[in-house]
Structure 1
């Protein structure tokens, strides 16, 4: 179902304010979430709000908190998220790192106590839109262990997402953006399949027998583990990436898996920002981008970031696509928070009132 961006954004903002966010924080977090839906990343869109409500109730997110940046050297900084909404922390770290790289050519920003940073690619987009190369590596502070090491079936690691961004300076209509979990899929994809009843791909998970988990509900109940990126045959590659992300996140946040076993996860991350014009002119970079695009593209080949760009153009024309189960969970959350359900969700008002705790399965 498609809706006007402003309608969805306003409703998300109202829910966030009811959860304890300031009007400014609610606006920024809602923007991040709705933009994720707008580009087709519904696993990191407004459907996260019921999960955030649970995290707030458990103290894993502090809605009134604000991230604080600390300068360590001219090119190195640290941002303590203080468990604020991770979208605010990611924004602060990216902004600080860009300013530093603009002056010094390169910068590194460490994030600790990040709660949930949301869609990591958002910060790759922000940096590349400012003409900067971006690299990010994250861990979860020892929590959310759902991924098996290569050769194992036990939950020992998190999905540890990584992201990269390269500016194209107008050579393409979009920048080059790469954002993925170091497991076969993100945890949000599993949760989405649980809510929709969709079948899990057999290459996503494993059990002690070596077979796939029978379904998303079984996985959510603790059966089996996700496979590292590359799966049963070449999962050593994703496993290696996960270890690098774990250790770099550990440098940033101070904790890696095996040290602590918290009830909830909290992202730590290492953001690296580089000014590419310290190496080549903008014109030379544009020539390289054009050459590789012409070399790779055909009717079946797109470049990283192109799909999200096209999805955004479609959403701007036809509205933001929100899945029905997400709409129902938001209406239910609104009832719990005594927030008025907007007219565009009136279809879900009765169902939400009758089942006002369904979202707690997230």
Structure 2
């Protein structure tokens, strides 16, 4: 938490966001689902995908970049494959629909490959991984983004040509261990993290951003207020670049929703495509033996002597669980700039209530 930040209870943020979204035309159940999704991201520590996105969502609703009345539709279902078209519906609504379409097939056939095209911003992809894990499934997710200019430079390049293209892998909990959750952008930092840092006047790791002249920098000011001057760098150099490229192709091509190449429309919105592979562990062997092996591997990895004894080795998913517990009790921290953006956006939408 930085000087000047304020903590606001999650319930207050959710009520505020839902009211603004409903005022902007969202159906009440959709407004509530999207608001819950945004604030849940804050609770998990992913402020880049949290309520700070509400001004952009409200702007998209005004400009017709999200269809506030749309419902996702299953357009193809054969064997272990199911394809959905989001029809520009709210991402949280479309993402949940994709998961609900995949689960019965994975349960019956052992696995399901589900694609989703033309969805508004899906938000934190880890949410859908958590959905799968809670239902006892493992899942892999590959996501790309279209409808706006690219944000990430290819390895060795000096301008943006890709999206942040998140990848997520989730495995269900065992009898003694929580769910495994790896959820990451394929850029060194997410676009939202650059925006949050810019709003707070903070620096980012050097080289995670390329400035408008194509040079590495630690100054995120070009990303303040949903602007973009410069590009994000891929994580892990050529490795992250390759993974981002793979997510672009798997999500954009297999879904039919398209990739970020300029032959596809760029209206200035956020449109996601997704490829998810949902697996039923029961179809792959003895569930009890699999759980024992997972527990043993978990214990072995976390028993490594820590480099810093004040920071023990943890498992993917542990930071989110810890922050959720703390922020649920103490409130969600918001910096003054984000708070101002939220209040200004809500006021423009016709909401008199102000945060802070």
TM-score by length of 2: 0.89
Aligned residue in 1 for 2:251: 249
Aligned residue in 2 for 1:331: 343
State the SS of the aligned residue for 1:118.
Answer: coil
Deviation at 1:208, TM superposition (A): 7.7
| Aligned with residue 59 of structure 1, among 60, 64, 67 | 64
Within the alignment, does 1:10 sit opposite 2:22 as a pair? Answer: no
State the SS of the aligned residue for 2:31.
Answer: helix
Change in Cα spacing, 1:151 to 1:208, as seen in structure 2 (3 Å) is farther
Q: Which contiguous aligned blocks of 4+ residues in structure 1 show a shift greater than 6 angstroms?
A: none
Aligned residue in 1 for 2:198: 194
Within the alignment, does 1:300 sit opposite 2:312 as a pair? Answer: yes
Deviation at 1:210, TM superposition (A): 6.0
Change in Cα spacing, 1:304 to 1:112, as seen in structure 2 (3 Å) is same
Q: Structure 2: how far apart are the matches of 1:323 and 1:98?
A: 39
Aligned residue in 2 for 1:317: 329
Is the CA contact 1:37–1:322 (under 8 Å) kept in the aligned structure 2? no
Change in Cα spacing, 1:303 to 1:113, as seen in structure 2 (3 Å) is same
| Aligned with residue 173 of structure 2, among 168, 177, 183 | 168
Aligned residue in 1 for 2:44: 39
Is the CA contact 1:82–1:113 (under 8 Å) kept in the aligned structure 2? yes
Stretches of structure 2 that go unaligned for 5 or more consecutive residues are 1-5, 304-310
Q: CA RMSD in A?
A: 2.0
Is the CA contact 1:204–1:227 (under 8 Å) kept in the aligned structure 2? yes
Q: Structure 2: how far apart are the matches of 1:5 and 1:254?
A: 34
Within the alignment, does 1:139 sit opposite 2:141 as a pair? Answer: no
Within the alignment, does 1:263 sit opposite 2:230 as a pair? Answer: no
State the SS of the aligned residue for 2:119.
Answer: coil
Is the CA contact 2:167–2:247 (under 8 Å) kept in the aligned structure 1? yes
Deviation at 1:171, TM superposition (A): 2.4
Q: Could you list the per-position Cα deviations for residues 111-167 of structure 1 after superposition, in whole angstroms to 9, with x for gaps in the alignment? A: 111121110110001101111011111111363301111111121111111111011
| 1:216-295 pair list within 5 angstroms | 216-218=220-222, 222-230=228-236, 235-250=237-252, 251-258=254-261, 259-264=263-268, 265-295=270-300
User: Which range is displaced more, 281-290 or 102-111?
Assistant: 281-290
Deviation at 1:214, TM superposition (A): 6.0
Aligned residues: 339
Deviation at 1:263, TM superposition (A): 2.9
Stretches of structure 1 that go unaligned for 5 or more consecutive residues are 348-362
Is the CA contact 1:131–1:169 (under 8 Å) kept in the aligned structure 2? no
Q: Structure 1: how far apart are the matches of 2:12 and 2:218?
A: 38
Q: Structure 2: how far apart are the matches of 1:190 and 1:4?
A: 24
